Structure 1
Amino acid sequence: MHDFEHHLLAVNGIQLSLYSTGPADGRPVWLLHGFPECWYSWHQQAQALARAGYRVLIPEMRGYGQSSAPAEPEAYALLTLCADIQAAMDHLGHDHVCVIGHDWGAPVAWHLALLEPQRVRVLGAMSVPFGGRPKRPAIDIMREANAGRFNYILYFQEPGVAEAELDANIERSLRLLLSDLGDALLREKPADSRMLDELDADPALPAWCDEAEFAIYRRTLANGFRGPLNWYRNFARNWQDTESLAGRQIEQPTLFLVGEQDPVARLEAYTLKRMAELVPRLEQHRLGNCGHWLQSEQPARVNALLADFLDRHYPGTKTPG
């Protein structure tokens, strides 16, 4: 069992909470969590990577836990989220890194690879594929495709609306999102519905999450869902900000993992099919009998795939080149 060190870094105008483990001179591996996760979702990967000689860094992303949570949606623009991690890497003197992201952490990882091709030597992403910059903002496409029916991302757009529902009972909301994500995201209903209506009033935890682990998730959201929801409110801004990255490929060796039962994979089916065109050094695996929270649902399988990939492309016992 590896102990985790905790740091509070003043970077990019915020306080960034950062957990780390592994030898101080190990090659850095950054693990970026998604919505509504916490740093501890990576603990089994972190311990395996630390045993293999890597220095593992797991931030509480902006809006979560002890990291700053600005009120303004624009404070969560994608390139700002990337800048948090870039500034933390600068602070720690990391010139060569591996970055791995899950869920919303994946778009941050994808874009760090585009922005920092010399620093980000190896890339991993889980659940959310890379589709490049669309010809127009994705939120406009979503509005057209979901006219008259509920879509959770559209539901998240108006500040205060989703917060009112999710914050009314944070524990129930979080339990439902961890245990019944498919119903929460994909249940067919009218556009003016709420997200968690008609779902279990007293949901059980999923098999992979015990009460002690859930308590860490719960503490991460002690201040409510506003900060995490603000990540979803910048699709138009992100599209504008990334104009210079249009048409760029991900050139690093890249591992992509997705659960066969992941509802996000259903939503991203088209992007999954064309991702190899944009990521020429891609290795991808679909994990059977696995949903969205794959690093928690199947940690042994995920750890084995990471170990094999990193052994070939970023061995922990060698000096960074």
Structure 2
Amino acid sequence: MEEGNCSTVSEFILLGLSDLPELSVFLSLVFLLIYGVTVMGNLGMITVIWVSSQLHIFMYFFFTHLSLVDFCNSTIIVPQMLANTLDQRKAISFQRCKVQFYLFGICVITEVILLAVMAYDHSVAICCPLLYMVIMSQKFCLGLVSVCYLCATVSSLIHICIALEIPSYRSNVVNYFFHDLPPLLSLACSDVSMNELVVYTVTSFNEIITIMIILTSYLFILITILRMCSAEGRHKAFSICASHLTAIIVFHGTILFLYCRPSSDYSLETDKVVTLFYSVVIPMLNPLIYSLRNKDMKAALRKIWVPRYLLRKCFF
């Protein structure tokens, strides 16, 4: 398909991260390493929570789903990106692009809502510790997680059915590493203002609702902490919230920058770096953030690994 000819497309050519073959190979090795760490970190976190009885509370139930979403998010993007580097044609069918974007949208939006649910969970744990098990019942927590997945599925379906309804493109060559909306909208021949409005509206709605829940939850947490007389109690409350706040700032910051800004500020190279960060790097960082800053998680890891170390020391 030649540049400047407007027509429908059956496949796209994804140029990837770089046009230089040597740099592409190097970047592929780097992201293969990142993906390996992501898989081990998130699946390891799920395993630790599952086998450690002291972590069988609903706070860590939400951590488990966050790790599952991060693992799926990275798996949807990275293997295809690495395979695309080895493929000379770098072609991917339009239907496959839609499926990839649909699944990626579910993972991202689920994480957005799940972080808000975790903020609410933290506020109940700190503000109403005696009523925590009553409020955060098994049925209620399962309902919250189900709502996360359901809302994400519906939102991603809206993007697929409306935002991607583009009749023709100027080119099927996409200077990107996966099938994302901004680079596709930039190649559209027709007016895509309605498509952009759909993206902006759905994303902004999800962001506004979840950020309001997060801010309200942390306002109650702050009030409760300021009323605490014990320095130990304050330190414990801060340790519970520190890792979650870090994850929120990093993740929501990139989402807001990428999707909730005017189209006139669009920069392909900047967007490529930002998208790479929240789709590949953040899923690797989240297990490190939650495990290194969480005393219960570190204690569970010690219980799992220390006996094995002592066993090797005794027999070898």
Q: TM-score, normalised by structure 2?
A: 0.26
Whichever structure has more strand as a proportion of its residues is 1
Larger Rg: 2
Higher-RCO chain (CA-CA 8 Å, sequence separation at least 6): 2
Q: TM-score, normalised by structure 1?
A: 0.26
Whichever structure has more helix as a proportion of its residues is 2
